[in-house]
Amino acid sequence: MRSNARKKAELGAELKRLGAPAAAIDASTLKVMKPETRERPFSRPGWVFELKYDGFRVLAAGDGGEARLFYKSGHDATRILPEIARAVAALPLAGLILDGEAVVLDAGGKPDFQRLQRRGLRTRAIDAEHAAAATPATFFVFDLLACEGFDLRPLPFTARRALLRRLLAGQEPGTLRLSDEIPERGEDLYAAVAAMGLEGIVAKRADSPYRSGYSADWLKVRVDRTSDFAVVGFDPVPGSRSGFRNLHLAVRDGAGGLAYAGTVGSGFARDDFAELRPRLETARRASPPLAVAAGRGTIWVEPEVVVEVRYKEWTRGGHLRHPVFLRLRHDKTVEECLRPGEEGDGEVEEMEALETPSEASVSQVPAVSPVAKSSRPVAFTNLGKVFWPAEGYTKGDLVDYYRAAAPAMLPFLRDRPLVLDRYPDGIAGKSFYQKNAPVTAAGGVRTVTIHAGGSERDIDYFLCDDADSLLYLVNLGAIPFHVWASRVESLDRPDWCILDLDPKTAPFLHVVEIARAIRELCGEIAIEPFVKTSGGSGLHVLLPMGGLFTHEQTRQLAELLARVIVVRLPALATTARAIPARGGRVYVDALQNGRGKLLAAPYAVRPRPGATVSTPLDWSEVNAKLDLRDFNLKTVPQRLRRRRQDPLLPVLSVQPGLARTLELLAERL
């Protein structure tokens, strides 16, 4: 007791010497200091650099053996994080206010926001206590704002940190931790953070006082550009009450209203659909809550839900480029959804201006045609023309098939650049690929303009959004449809990784055995594989990527998986591309991954004898009895009527834990 009294007296004398004013502060109404955004890291004397923790910003107030916690919005978080409240209450100072970040650490010591977010949903006291025991939170404290009746905010940041260091000295590493800091060397810290896969860094002027609101004295530099957005609408999946194609996003504008920021359609996991759709349904409204051209089928909602989205950059038109959904933010409000760089009016002295997109980069932003699809029925032609002479199947049979398959097929086509393989006279006649879709031939089908790599020209790809668009293209004589692995809004981030099992002269039973071996390997490395027939002679095994990898990284992952499989099954599998070099083995092809690489779309008919169809399978069907001829233009519609769930559909939405997958895969190489 005497020791504590002496420490308090010494602390009070020190605060008076430093010039801290005597004042009581109410933590429940205190507005936190927020960093502005900077795109590049820097190193500079007079600055201190810290990790940017992936958690909840929390103000902790301790006084007389009691404590209360507040989110930066002012909402009480004491019940949600009881272990942090107890640790703060045990500190032997009165009138204490700490600023920091509450996180949940994974087994490797990295912040795991998903676990923390689940903690935030446990609002009953007993549930919160159970969660605290199962997934305890850590409070990384980075600032001391008040203690013993003194307001420390006018003091320099380094003085506040020195006092905080003394306060937490002797604490066992556990619930309360002093955040790490590095003076001057921001670029070195940023490089380390990027290598570790952490969120970013925060730079703080060493002599800066603590001011509420955004300030250029604090700067955040993210490894990936991410921001918070208000959800203002969604596009439902036809026939589904649980999912959606994409979310429409907005940020606050300078006048206090909302500005449209585009859509995000990738990165969602099953749990995200299950949580978001019900919340959005309850917020429906008849018209957009902001100035935007209303698209057909969009359901507009009140701007109440906030989500965090990763993206490459803002286009000059004010939309996001290559957005990927990261998470729902329960701890953020719509008022905090600001465009990076517009958080405040402060300027950083002697600092470089923020980067702006170059003319070259802007020219590569996909331009989607605004053509609205006509509701008029397709005027079909030559429906009696025979397309499969041996079977007698006609163009009309093909149209009937795609009309029946459209509900199952469209989720795999929508928002993806599409290439047609046209057979105007059937499979026995001449055929040609069609990438480019000139306006005169588009027939109201949406298109997207993409710069053709290695050339000076652009290509207008078809986009197939609905059944009428699909049937219009079939009427042009298109039999199979080939799609990109990525969507228009994130062309450089594929949704899947593919291993194409091509037997050529090898027995199909070997294809089955290799596919099952890939499934076993995926089980070992904690990623879920999906499988479909190619529609030809092999199988396609697809792994969900969730928009987390680039095309090049996805190809490298596929090559690593193929190497492991060839080592395990050397007599059956090979990565030799040349047919003579395969020696009668199945080619495990990883090279079908890449920007612009095409996949025979699920449920696409192939121009082969029997009119076989590329068909999603349950893994239980991948056995010695599997016969690819059983899946054709006549049998697949019956199969679709019998089945309630598509076994391949989750590949579009699952977001795997790729860090763990790569770690486990490395152990097997």
Least confident of 171-175, 358-362, 504-508: 358-362
Buried b (16+ CB within 10 A) or exposed e, 371-409: eebeeeebeeeeeeebbbeeeebbbebbbbbbebbbbbb
More confident residue, 657 or 569: 569
Residue 371 confidence (pLDDT): 46
Highest mean pLDDT among 2-16, 300-314, 563-577: 563-577
Does 362 have pLDDT greater than 50?
no
Q: Select from 222, 207, 155 the least CA-distant residue to 44.
A: 207
Among 128-132, 157-161, 252-256, 420-424, the minimum mean pLDDT is found in: 252-256
Q: Residue 351 burial (CB < 10 Å; 0-12/13-18/19+)?
A: middle
Yes or no: say if 157 and 145 are a contact pair by the CB < 8 Å rule. Answer: no
Each residue of 392-426: pLDDT tens digit? 999 999 999 999 999 999 999 999 999 999 999 99
Find, among 436, 536, 441, the residue nearest to 479 by Cα.
Answer: 536
- Would the pLDDT of 358 be above 80? no
Confidence of residue 568 (pLDDT cuts 50, 70, 90): very high
CA 276 to chain centre: 15
Q: Which helix (H) or strand (E) holds 102?
A: strand 96-103
Query: Which residue carries 């602390």 as its tokens?
Result: 11
Residue 256: CB atoms within 10 Å: 7
Query: Largest Cα–Cα distance in the chain?
Result: 100
Q: Catalytic residue at 373?
A: no
Task: Give the pLDDT mean for 294-301.
Answer: 83
Closest by CA to 232, choosing from 282, 301, 319, is 301
Work out the burial of residue 624: count CB atoms within 10 Å of its CB; fewer than 13 is exposed, 13-18 middle, 19 or more buried.
exposed
The average confidence (pLDDT) of the chain is: 85
Per residue in 207-233, pLDDT (tens digit) is: 999 999 988 999 998 877 788 999 999
pLDDT digits (tens, 9 = 90+) for 314-346: 776 678 877 889 888 877 788 888 877 555 433
CA atoms within 13 A on the CB side of 12: 13
Which domains are seen in the chain, by residue range? 2-30+54-178 (3.30.470.30), 225-363 (2.40.50.140), 367-486 (3.90.920.10), 490-668 (3.90.920.10)
Q: Record the pTM.
A: 0.49
Q: What is the pLDDT, as a whole number, of residue 384?
A: 93
- Whether the per-residue pLDDT at 126 is higher than 90: the answer is no
Neighbours of 7 (CB within 10 A): 14
Q: Which of 34, 52, 72, 395 is catalytic?
A: 52
